[in-house]
Structure 1
Amino acid sequence: MLQQLESVKSKWGGKSQVIDRWLMDRQALLVSFCELAGINKRSECLPDPDEIDNFCSALLDYLSVGHFEVFDMLVENDNEGLALRDKLYPRLTKTTDAALAFNDTFAQAVTPEQAAEFDSALAKLGETLEERFALEDELIAHVHTKKRDPEVTL
């Protein structure tokens, strides 16, 4: 996912403050995800509850910005963009629902029963985020294909 993000940033970075900021937020979320997943760690224990809570907060913030600020702004005054958003929105909503379910399960306190499922739930969330980022990238590609540059800043 980080390599895909670098590809997106190199392709579209610097063309829009809104998209640059959104991609920076995505990068921070991915770094937090990797830390939570224990990538590059040798420990097999559950992450600290504060780490899980911080990740869940960052996840909800990222999702909110997309749904309530960026998606509509990327396609405003653009009939093709609105049609693309309408086509992608049900799939984006599914990824949001999956991320919210992860948050609801793990953000507060992780019970011993939940701890046993944490790694598999996090892996599934990683797949969901990968799908979501690909959908978001379609919206970003549309903006640049149409040579529109959103002026709104986040």
Structure 2
Amino acid sequence: MLNQVEIAKQRWGGANKTIDAWLDERRELLIKYCQLAGVNGRTQGALPDMAEVDEFCSILMDYLSVGHFEVYEMLVSDDPKGLKLKQHIFPRISDTTNIALDFNDKFSEKFDVDSAHSFDADITRLGEALVDRFELEDQLIKHIHVTVNDAVPS
């Protein structure tokens, strides 16, 4: 997943400060996700502490909010191609948002024994949703770059 962020930054970075900042937030989110999920060290069954979970949930909610309220509409215009893309991608992004919100609701500020027993399964489900989301968001970023490049006279 982190490689995909680097590829996106190489491909589209520098053209728009908002997109650059958003991709930086994505990278931070992925690093925190990997730490929380134990990708680089936490053993299965060992749980992160409440502060780690809370920090991750905060970063996750910030990332989702920036996408929905600042970036998506900027990336897709109301031209026919943009409208078609919105109809195709926005509902799928919304599905990933729901999974992220469910994770946040379950674990933010109340990570306890009762919720902890499903943590590994829930963090895995969230990771899968994030992979899908990032692929969809990359399609939106690609759209704006193609649209901008098509508008520039040769």
TM-score (norm. length: structure 2):
0.90
Letter in 1 for 2:74: M
Residue 152 of structure 2 aligns with which residue?
A: none
Matches within 5 A, 1:100-119: 100-119=101-120
The Cα shift of 1:42 comes to 4.6
Mark the runs of 5 or more structure 1 residues left unpaired by the alignment. 149-154
Q: Is 70-79 or 99-108 further displaced after alignment?
A: 70-79
How far is 1:65 from its partner?
0.7
Which of structures 1 and 2 has the larger relative contact order (alpha carbons within 8 angstroms, sep 6+)?
A: 1
* Percent of pairs with identical residues: 49
Assess if the C-alpha contact under 8 Å between 2:33 and 2:56 holds in 1. yes
Counterpart in the other structure of 1:31: 31
Alpha-carbon RMSD across the aligned residues, in angstroms, is 1.4
Partner amino acid, structure 2, of 1:135: L
Q: Is the 8 A contact 2:53 2:111 kept in 1?
A: no
Q: Distance in 1 between matches of 2:17 and 2:33?
A: 24
Letter matched to residue 6 of structure 2: E
Shift of 1:113: 2.5
Change (3 A) 1:77 1:89: closer
Q: Does 1:14 align with 2:14?
A: yes
Which 4+ runs in 1 deviate beyond 4 A?
A: none
Measured at CA, do residues 42 and 112 of structure 1 come closer, stay the same or move farther in structure 2, by a change above 3 Å? closer
Counterpart Cα distance in 1 of 2:50 and 2:140: 34
The question of whether the paired residues in 1 share the 8 Å contact of 2:53 and 2:108 is answered with: yes
Is the partner of 1:109 in helix, strand or coil? coil
Q: Which amino acid aligns with 1:40?
A: N
Residue identity matched to 1:130: V
Q: TM-score normalised to the size of structure 1?
A: 0.90
**Alignment partners' CA distance in 2, 1:12 and 1:69:** 17
Mark the CA change 1:140 to 1:36 in structure 2 (over 3 Å): closer, same or farther: same
Aligned to 2:59: 58
Task: Find the aligned partners of 1:42 and 1:97 in 2 and give their Cα distance.
Answer: 26
Q: Name the count of aligned residue pairs.
A: 148
